[in-house]
Structure 1
Amino acid sequence: MTGSTKSSDASWSELLTAHYSAATATLCLGVALFAFNGFLVSTSLPTAVAEIGGLALISWAFTLYLVLSIVGGSAGALLKARFGARAALVGAALMFLAGTLLAALASSMVEVLIGRALQGLGEGVIAAICYALIPELFPSRLVAKVFGAEAMVWAIAAFGGPLVSGILTEHLSWRAAFLVNVPLSLIFIGLVLRIVPRFSGPMQRISVPALRLAAIGSGIMLVALASVTGTVAMEVLLVAGAAIVLASVVAFDRRSTTPLFPSDAFALKTTVGIGLWIVLFMPVAQAATSVYLVMTLQNLWGYGPTMAGAFHATFAIAWSLFAILVATIQTPRYRAWLIRLGPTLLVAGLAIIVVGFEMDAPLVVLAGQIGIGTGFGVSWGFLSQTIMESAEDSERDRASALLPTLQSAGYAIGAAIAGLTANAVGYPLATTPEALRDATITIFIISAIIGIGALIAGYALPIGKKTAPALDATGI
């Protein structure tokens, strides 16, 4: 079931036919494990800490998960080539399941942290391989719709995750909220065993480059530490150190006989290389809204947690809605411009948020947040498909698997930069509405400037023959 290059019309109902329904359910469930897990844990973990202690370690429950998920995602393509997609996915799901059970049954915060680390490592591999399977299990005409379906899962998780976790935590136990992942994991394993092939090509006897994976983990850990350290000088040092480490990994990877990334990753003249810069820059720029928007709404305008959370969720709603609306577009020319429209709306949305805080106008800020979500919705699926289909055949798995990993890394880097900016302009020490507003405006101005990098890359994206059918030279 390899992807076809035909661009014929395809309906949403085709994803639910006997030929594709199981594959659709499998990939969407792989996304659901990641999406729901994040919301379940963030809602229930404070109650867990109140019961078993370990408040000082609570941030590490998220940091370890993020770092290990990026390490697992970086190794995903190699594990698929070495063991086959089916074995790698089942092994990763079992690791995720073991981490879930350990965290849910924990009697100390240390056990929770070990469980979260196992969850992150397993989920990173699952996300990477699920992305790599999209062009294998679906024809090209359906790929954008698969991304639309996954965006729908994220929107459901954004609302359903906190609700389910809150109800279970309040009426049963925080442990019950963690255990929601158990049936989801078992269903996922069953679907993988049913529809995922053992090997889509010859098994490769390759070794996993542990040193490079450790370096990736160390680089992301430096980023995570930068987001929680207390001094601006130390934050700058850690972010700079992370940049050096991660850039070195990419440079060494290009010369390796067992590469983790496509050979032209982050090159400045190829579709894959420039496309990956967009995939990195967009979440780096958007991360500030995830870290500081809800907090500012509560502290500046007195929003309650529910109202502020719903305000923030408009990003996910807009992303999902527009991802679904544009998924039917097949014309290469329109897809090319939608990829460029995404970063444009991202920068415009961040600028509108700046104006909204300057005007003290919540509705204007809301418009900016919706604009950012729309930018991701109209472009992300087509951008991902373009990178997948522009990669050399022998490197398609590595290019595809890198997409969710790079997105997670982008959010981590963006959060660190936003935190650095916030500390530099006195956001944590702001005691008046005016000081808080001024600090917030600066944070989002820096984010908009970062977003310009994605915008420039979008208009520099070369469109060649390897991009068909999503984009080609006639599409510009």
Structure 2
Amino acid sequence: MTGLDQISADKPSVFHLFSKPLLPATLMLGGGVTLYAVETYITATISPSIVRDIGGLNLLAWVTTLYVAAAVLGSIFVAMRPRGTGLRTVYAAGALIFGLGSLICAVAGSMPIVLIGRAVQGFGAGTLAGLAYAFIRFAYPEPLWRKASTLYAAIWGVSTLFGPTLGGVFSSGSAWRHAFLLLVPLGALMAALAPRLLPRADDDRAHGKTPILQIVMLLAGVLLVSFAGTIEATATKAVLIAAAVVAVVGMLVIERRSDNRLLPSGAVTLAKPVARVYLTMFTLLVVLTSDIYIPYFLQALHGVTPLMSGYLTALVALGWTLAAFFSGTLSGRAAGVAIVVGCIIEAVTTASLAIFLAADNQASALTVLVPAVIGMFMMGFGVGLGWAHLVAKVLKLVENAEQDKASAAISTVQSLGSAFGAALSGVIVNSAGLVQPGGIAGTVSAAHWLYVLMALPGLIAVAASLTLSSPPPRQVR
């Protein structure tokens, strides 16, 4: 019996991904996700240092916005690449593009040049992240598909904790340039190793033209909502979010009527299970992204130090990671139940923060702080409990010819959910008193309404997940 046969016969474990025949692919695919995730948090940490060194405070918001938008375009490129181009070639190109963007950032003398580098870097990072899902069916036997998704979730969790720490190492003076410069040879090395370590992946996509209009409208939506997340004025933020919604809805309408699709068949029709899977993923991330205000609330309301608030907020990511490993052994109907239970946990614990986190607790009383911390951990735990199973459902519900589209859509949904969640959270807290009247009373009000209202998308996730509790039917290949 071969090693892969043994994996299929035994109860699959995430550690099988690191077995000798699978280790090269795991290192390459996990490495791509790591680059995307860690660079997201490192740059967020060193951005103030960049501004202090070369100026450009008025453009600071675009450092992240352009990176996210370009990453979405990179994930789309995986599915829309030129006909006959193999995934290994795309991986090598993505790694080189990421390295080039890092080099541009490292030598930039002004903020506009940094933004160009971030856009190039984001495209490469999005390509590598999208390939992690696109390669799953070629790199691993089917019993390990959920395990690979679990690994990617763990990488994001670890990156949330260590990314800012690494960024802090490069935050003095012009040291931020080294944070980018170190990535240049890494990108080149990954590009060189791609043809040797990644499995062959034939181009089995269906023929069709590139859906330019849908791509443009989707990118417009991502840019608008990402920029909205950086605006302080509530009215302006709301207008930008509304415009983003119009752009995304318009894209979906065109997608539904067009024969030339950006998304896999059925992805925009709620009667189809794959659409409900994507909806569940989107709403889970919208809710989870409300955690961006947790550090502020911990410091302002509970007397927690800035350093400790950062580590406590990382419990959200830790919850996701631990739940992913916990539920990774589930399959069949148990996996469907895990998705539903995870959605319920996220919605309930998010609502609980409206009570425990939104409290004037300057004395740091543990009777209030501990339940709040548990709620934060369980928010992430709920998402992690079902995320890998949602990814596996996507891969099982679409035909081989649309697997690349389905994989790219996973990364796109992640980016959209996070962007909309951040922007909506900003509108809520600003409208609920964070700035006016401000102070303790305003902050308590902002925290309360944020987690009351952000629990509502969680109810949508619960409703959608209830329709996914049975194992997906196998597609005819």
TM-score (normalizing by structure 2): 0.91
Counterpart position of 1:74:
76
1:34-83 Cα shifts (integer Å, max 9, x gaps)? 11101211122211211111111111101111112122223321227552
Asked if 1:169 is matched to 2:171, the reply is: yes
Counterparts in 2 of 1:246-265, with a 5 A limit? 246-265=248-267
Counterpart position of 2:438:
431
Q: Tell me, in whole angstroms, the C-alpha distance in 2 between the residues paired with 1:421 and 1:234.
A: 13
1:331-358 Cα shifts (integer Å, max 9, x gaps)? x121110011111111011012112135
Asked if 1:185 is matched to 2:181, the reply is: no
Instruction: Tell me, yes or no, if the aligned pair for 1:103 and 1:178 is still in contact at 8 Å.
Output: yes
Q: Tell me, in whole angstroms, the C-alpha distance in 2 between the residues paired with 1:270 and 1:203.
A: 21
Counterpart position of 1:86:
88
Q: In the superposition, relative to structure 1, how do residues 309 and 82 fare at CA in structure 2: closer, same or farther (>3 Å)?
A: farther
Counterparts in 2 of 1:303-342, with a 5 A limit? 303-330=304-331, 332-342=332-342
Q: In the superposition, relative to structure 1, how do residues 81 and 281 fare at CA in structure 2: closer, same or farther (>3 Å)?
A: farther
Counterpart position of 2:416:
409
Superposition deviation, residue 430 in structure 1: 3.9
Q: In the superposition, relative to structure 1, how do residues 446 and 248 fare at CA in structure 2: closer, same or farther (>3 Å)?
A: same
Counterpart position of 1:297:
298
Asked if 1:350 is matched to 2:357, the reply is: no
Asked if 1:422 is matched to 2:438, the reply is: no
What SS does the aligned partner of 2:50 have?
A: helix
Counterpart position of 1:195:
197
Superposition deviation, residue 172 in structure 1: 7.5
Q: Tell me, in whole angstroms, the C-alpha distance in 2 between the residues paired with 1:283 and 1:366.
A: 19
One-letter code of the match for 1:349? T
Q: In the superposition, relative to structure 1, how do residues 435 and 47 fare at CA in structure 2: closer, same or farther (>3 Å)?
A: same
Counterpart position of 1:108:
110
Instruction: Tell me, yes or no, if the aligned pair for 2:273 and 2:468 is still in contact at 8 Å.
Output: yes
Superposition deviation, residue 323 in structure 1: 1.0
Superposition deviation, residue 230 in structure 1: 4.6
Instruction: Tell me, yes or no, if the aligned pair for 1:71 and 1:124 is still in contact at 8 Å.
Output: yes
Counterpart position of 1:244:
246
Superposition deviation, residue 371 in structure 1: 0.7
What SS does the aligned partner of 1:264 have?
A: coil
Counterpart position of 2:99:
97
Q: Tell me, in whole angstroms, the C-alpha distance in 2 between the residues paired with 1:289 and 1:185.
A: 31
Counterparts in 2 of 1:377-396, with a 5 A limit? 377-396=384-403
Q: Tell me, in whole angstroms, the C-alpha distance in 2 between the residues paired with 1:386 and 1:203.
A: 19
Which runs of 5 or more residues in structure 1 are unaligned? 469-476
1:294-340 Cα shifts (integer Å, max 9, x gaps)? 1222222232221111011001111111211221223x121110011
Instruction: Tell me, yes or no, if the aligned pair for 1:269 and 1:462 is still in contact at 8 Å.
Output: no
Q: In the superposition, relative to structure 1, how do residues 201 and 231 fare at CA in structure 2: closer, same or farther (>3 Å)?
A: closer
What SS does the aligned partner of 1:466 have?
A: coil
Q: Tell me, in whole angstroms, the C-alpha distance in 1 between the residues paired with 2:403 and 2:275.
A: 13
Counterpart position of 2:214:
212
Q: In the superposition, relative to structure 1, how do residues 82 and 293 fare at CA in structure 2: closer, same or farther (>3 Å)?
A: farther
Counterpart position of 2:41:
39
Counterpart position of 2:59:
57
Which shifted more, 120-129 or 21-30?
120-129
- How many residues of Structure 1 are paired with residues of Structure 2 in the alignment? 465
What SS does the aligned partner of 1:428 have?
A: coil
Percent identical: 29
Q: Tell me, in whole angstroms, the C-alpha distance in 2 between the residues paired with 1:204 and 1:282.
A: 31
Which shifted more, 72-81 or 369-378?
72-81
Q: Tell me, in whole angstroms, the C-alpha distance in 1 between the residues paired with 2:442 and 2:95.
A: 47
One-letter code of the match for 1:310? Y
TM-score (normalizing by structure 1): 0.91
Counterparts in 2 of 1:1-20, with a 5 A limit? 8-20=10-22
Which runs of 5 or more residues in structure 2 are unaligned? 362-367
Q: Tell me, in whole angstroms, the C-alpha distance in 1 between the residues paired with 2:134 and 2:447.
A: 38
Q: Tell me, in whole angstroms, the C-alpha distance in 1 between the residues paired with 2:334 and 2:304.
A: 40
Instruction: Tell me, yes or no, if the aligned pair for 2:393 and 2:472 is still in contact at 8 Å.
Output: no
One-letter code of the match for 2:425? A
Which shifted more, 432-441 or 208-217?
208-217
